[in-house]
């Protein structure tokens, strides 16, 4: 294997984290701020780049880091290495409620395309880069724009889905989904955007103007609750943004906020 061979355990049901077990000398990379806890003997270092190419020059690292900023990620990744003489563990969690998806990249054709903020962690040797939507429609109306994340390697990688995870195996079928519900897909899946029904359905259906169309042979991961949908509902329900006080229960709730200055 090119990548380090790490063991792992997914902890929790609805708001999960992944605990990675490292043998002495093994390393796992993660997004900045994803670490939850680590045992004694684990040392971490922030580096520019994912470390997949040890001989990569400084200019190449800067170029790779610049591409990462296009996906909304930090230009740095954190490398967690076990420098003890026995196995030690480090855990990572996503920034909002959802499900951790373990990807055995060797079994998935060594390449997975995913939404821009899905990556959580991966074994050292995994290349984290960007790819561009080739379809103009997918770029303009796909929710994620022209830029998606690409993971390459033969080890374990971990991505995150909001809410409940749905895994679909396509064998020549076509699947139409809300553009925000797409988390990732393997090679062999063709991704495009199509109009959502007739004009009346597009305007009054509440499902958006366009749907993502996935077809071919491969695996597709979907999420039941995209973070953008959750954030939109929270903002619209916030009293400070003009939302109602449903669930507060009584006049005392409003008086309490007045007294507190909220």
**Structure letter (DSSP) for residue 54:** T
What is residue 181's three-state secondary structure? Answer: helix
148: its two tokens: 């998606």
Q: E strands, 124-196, where?
A: 127-132, 147-152, 156-162, 165-178, 182-186, 189-195
pTM: 0.79
CA 7 to chain centre: 20
What is residue 208's three-state secondary structure? Answer: coil
CA quadruple 133, 136, 142, 144: dihedral positive or negative?
positive
- pLDDT value of residue 233: 77
Q: Is the CB of residue 70 less than 8 Å from the CB of residue 147?
A: yes
Q: Is the CB of residue 165 less than 8 Å from the CB of residue 227?
A: no
Can you spell out the DSSP letters for 14-26? SB-EEEEEE-TT-
Can you spell out the DSSP letters for 101-112? EEEEGGGGTTEE
- pLDDT value of residue 136: 47
Q: Within the chain, which residues score under 50 in pLDDT?
A: 136-145, 202, 205-206, 249-252, 255
Q: E strands, the chain, where?
A: 7-11, 17-22, 27-31, 35-38, 42-48, 76-82, 88-93, 98-104, 111-114, 119-123, 127-132, 147-152, 156-162, 165-178, 182-186, 189-195, 210-223
Total residue count of the chain as it appears in this document: 262
Q: Which residue matches tokens 């699947």?
A: 175
Span 138-195, pLDDT tens digits: 444 444 445 788 999 999 999 999 988 999 999 999 999 887 888 999 999 998 877 6
Span 53-64, pLDDT tens digits: 766 666 666 666
């Amino acid at each position: 294997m090119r990548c380090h061979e790490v063991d792992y355990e997914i902890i929790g049901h609805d708001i999960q984290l992944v605990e990675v077990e490292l043998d002495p000398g093994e390393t796992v990379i993660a997004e900045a701020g994803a670490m939850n806890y680590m045992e004694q003997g684990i040392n971490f270092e922030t580096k520019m780049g994912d470390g997949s190419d040890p001989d990569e020059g400084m200019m190449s690292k800067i170029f790779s880091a610049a591409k990462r900023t296009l996906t909304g990620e930090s230009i740095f990744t954190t490398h967690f290495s076990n420098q003890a003489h026995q196995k030690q563990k480090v855990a990572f969690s996503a920034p909002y409620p959802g499900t951790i998806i373990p990807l055995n990249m060797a079994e998935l054709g060594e390449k997975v395309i995913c939404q821009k903020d899905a990556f959580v962690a991966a074994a050292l040797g995994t290349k984290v880069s960007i790819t561009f939507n080739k379809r103009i429609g997918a770029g303009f109306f796909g929710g994620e724009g022209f830029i998606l994340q690409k993971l390459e390697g033969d080890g374990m990688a971990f991505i995150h889905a909001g809410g409940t995870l749905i895994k679909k195996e396509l064998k020549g079928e076509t699947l139409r989904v809300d553009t925000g519900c797409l988390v990732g897909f393997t090679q062999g899946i063709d991704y495009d955007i199509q109009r959502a029904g007739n004009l009346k359905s597009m305007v009054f259906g509440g499902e958006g103007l366009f749907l993502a169309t996935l077809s071919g042979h491969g695996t597709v991961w979907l999420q039941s609750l995209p973070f953008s949908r959750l954030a939109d509902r929270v903002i619209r329900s916030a009293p400070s943004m003009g939302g109602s006080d449903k669930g507060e229960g009584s006049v005392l709730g409003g008086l309490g906020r007045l007294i507190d200055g909220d």
